[in-house]
Structure 1
Amino acid sequence: MSYLRPESEGVLVLNRLPIQNANAISSPLTHGFPSMTAFLGLMWALERKLRTQGITLQFDSVGVICHDFDEQVTEGGYTKAFRLTRNPVSKDGSTAAIVEEGRIHLEVTLIFGVSGEAVLDDAEPRQKLADQIAETLAGMRVAGGSVLPARRVERLPCAELLRLDENPEEAREDFRLRRRRWMPGFALVCRDDLLAQRLESLQANTPEVTALDALLDLSRFNWRPAVAEAPGDQAERKGVEWEHDRTEGWIVPIPVGYGALSQVHPAGTVKNARDACTDFRFVESLYSVGQWISPHRLGSFRELLWYAHSDVDAGLYRCRNDFAATARGL
């Protein structure tokens, strides 16, 4: 199935952003890195804030490359717990309850797909605008975390506003040279295709298997015994070897948006809704499979960027990424 993918005129690259105390709990079932919905929310918040400054860039997609992370969890053993803080006492002096909050320190590069007249300017005005946007972002929250002063990397600017070449060959060559700057690091891409393949494989033997079973099966290491044959043509068997099925790489379960639990309620009809001017709908998290890959395996910005897609009739509000479709030549 194809989706309306935004066509960006350029990209805004914010290199090596240190972020302190970002939200490590990405959904009710997953943790370890902020959800892509948080970065899409940051994109829209940044666009609105820039408009108040007279900057009319249109943001349509975002990509994330993680260079370093430090999840705030206890060390030692297989079972870990979040390092939690004790809240101040309540008004009556009693001890307040501890609210479980997962925190993580990050160093990430953010790449935004953008369009607008500013993208078509000369190099010097574009660089000044990029520096202004980086300064604006420094006063915002990124996935609930605080932006710290960027660590200077030799010959690598903190922010860049780049115009995408209209020639496909030139664009690929420019991206090939640029992706070197993002290493060492790992980019998060969506692998819905792996989930569909695993579901089809499991249903071949067990028809009642669901998509949730496939997600759990793909998210873990499944070790199975394999009988090792003796060398030569001997019929005797030699020992037992254990093999796992994790051959696709660094695969992780991720939340990719929200699915509807109710019909759309008109604005103002639901009590205590955050926004009384916007239609309301009860939703739950949607899950899929993501993959962390080295930037040198990316062929274009399209494979890296995530964008929002809404299907109101189907009740789907989710983030999409075209890495798998591009790999198949779609």
Structure 2
Amino acid sequence: MEKTFTKRAGMAHSGDSSMNHNPDALLVLPWLRVQNANCISSPLTWGFPAISAILGFVHALERKIKSRYSDLNFSGVAVICHRFDPQIFSPGIRDNVFCLTRNPLNEKGESPSFAEEGRAHITISLLIKMESDAYYELNPSQREELAQDILKTSQGLRFAGGSFLSPYTKKSKARLSDWDVTGDSLKAELRRLLPGFLLTSREDLLIDRTIELQKVNPEATFLDALLDLSSLNYEPISTESDAEVVEWHIRKKPGWIVPIPVGYRSISKCYDAGEVINARDTEYPFSFVECIYSLGQWISPHRLTDTRKIFWKYDADVEKGIYRCISS
């Protein structure tokens, strides 16, 4: 296969010119089985791995594959979850807890301290926007070879700290197809990945709920709206204030809504490379950050009415110190 492609920047954020046009192809990595993925997605949430971990995997895959196909660029990813099996158990006296490792005793015969880790076995499918100037020069057999090469490379990477298990069915075969601006081929691919649920951003619900709360309490914040939409709220059906007996019901939500971490916000100045002691990487500038939260919705692909908002990508504002993941 011809691999003499021109060099292009990798996994660009939304401000780059490579993000402002349609991709050349759609890469589908279906039914990937991951063992022991990290399910502590943030300091406040646990469950499905954070979207930043998924974008990090796609970025690492792009950098790995560029050694052979330097023109390839991944500009967005959609994720479908088919199976989520958290490694938890109930001790009977409290809520579920994580299944943790039993480490060897120390020299005093005591159990050593360790950091709690949450793990889950998951099965997912990834739909990746792919850009390449030389893509349309490849014949069908070369495109199939490229897709399988990318799939094989991905199996050697970590996904949210977890390890990939080898594919076990024919439906796990990677697929590469031309990008269809009408969206019909994308909808067809999504239907092929049923049953499963697609993770989409619902930041609009968070904004609308904040406005509603501020009408009652002007000091209400986005955090109040996030907690309100993430909890079960019991409300009386009767609107009469002097009613002696009322019937209570759970407020309905507009779908399967969940709180999700979507990135980081700087809480300190940006230090020069190597200035902060014991930093993980001393080659790049360093900044202390805190997690950014938003709302997501798990939705079955056959219920989608708009496929333009399912792909996640990076969005960075260095001056404001905001590094987040958005869907578009």
Superposition TM-score, scaled by structure 2 size: 0.87
Corresponding residue for residue 232 of structure 1 = none
1:119 to 135, 145, 150: 135
Q: 2: distance between equivalents of 1:186 and 1:301?
A: 14
Query: Over residues 76-131 of structure 1, what are the superposed CA-to-partner deviations in whole Å (9 max), with x where a residue is unaligned?
Result: 78711111111233467643113210000001001111111353223221111111
Q: Which residue of 1 aligns with 2:198?
A: 187
Q: In 1, distance between residues paired with 2:102 and 2:190?
A: 42
Aligned equivalent of 1:62: 77
Q: Is the 8 A contact 2:98 2:117 kept in 1?
A: yes
Aligned with residue 187 of structure 2, among 176, 188, 193: 176
Selected match of 1:43 from 30, 55, 58: 58
Matching of residue 293 in structure 1 with residue 310 in structure 2: no
1:199–1:228 distance in 2 versus 1, CA, 3 Å? closer
Structure 2 residue identity aligned to 1:246: K
Letter in 2 for 1:159: A
C-alpha contact (below 8 Å) 1:6/1:307 kept by paired residues: no
Q: Distance in 2 between the 1:91 and 1:49 partners?
A: 42
Gaps of 5+ in 1: 230-236, 323-330
How big is the alpha-carbon RMSD for the aligned residues of Structure 1 and Structure 2?
A: 2.3
Q: Say which of 142, 146, 150 aligns to 1:133.
A: 150
CA drift of 1:71 comes to 0.5
Counterpart residue number, 2:11? none
Work out whether residues 119 and 161 of structure 1, in 8 Å CA contact, stay in contact via their aligned partners in 2.
no
Matched, 1:107 2:123: yes
Preserved CA contact (<8 Å) 1:50 1:56: no
Partners in 1 of 2:267 and 2:239 — Cα distance?
50
* Inter-CA distance 321–91: structure 2 relative to 1 (3 Å threshold): farther
2-structure distance, mates of 1:172, 1:238: 55
Q: Deviations over 1:200-236 (max 9, x none)?
A: 101101111111111100101111111289xxxxxxx
- Partner SS for 1:16: strand
1:164 matched residue in structure 2: 179
2:208 to 193, 197, 200: 197
Q: Which amino acid aligns with 1:141?
A: R
1:246-303 Cα deviation digits (max 9, x unpaired) = 3311000000000011111111211122222211111110000000001113356532
> Which of 263, 268, 278 is 2:284 aligned to?
278
User: Residue 252 of structure 1 aligns to a residue in which SS?
Assistant: strand
Q: Distance in 1 between matches of 2:248 and 2:108?
A: 59
SS in 2 for 1:240: coil
TM-score norm. by structure 1 comes to: 0.87
* 3-state DSSP of counterpart to 2:189: helix
Which range is displaced more, 249-258 or 88-97? 88-97
**1:73 and 2:88 are equivalent in the alignment:** yes
Distance in 2 between residues matched to 1:211 and 1:77, nearest whole Å: 34
Distance 1:19 1:218, change over 3 A: same
Q: Is the 8 A contact 2:72 2:130 kept in 1?
A: yes
Q: Which residue, 209, 215, 236 being the options, matches 2:220?
A: 209
In the alignment, the residues of structure 1 paired with residue 275 and residue 127 of structure 2 have an alpha-carbon distance, to the nearest angstrom, of 38
Q: For residue 66 of structure 1, what is the amino acid of its counterpart? A: C
Tell me, which stretches of 5 or more residues in structure 2 are unaligned? 1-13
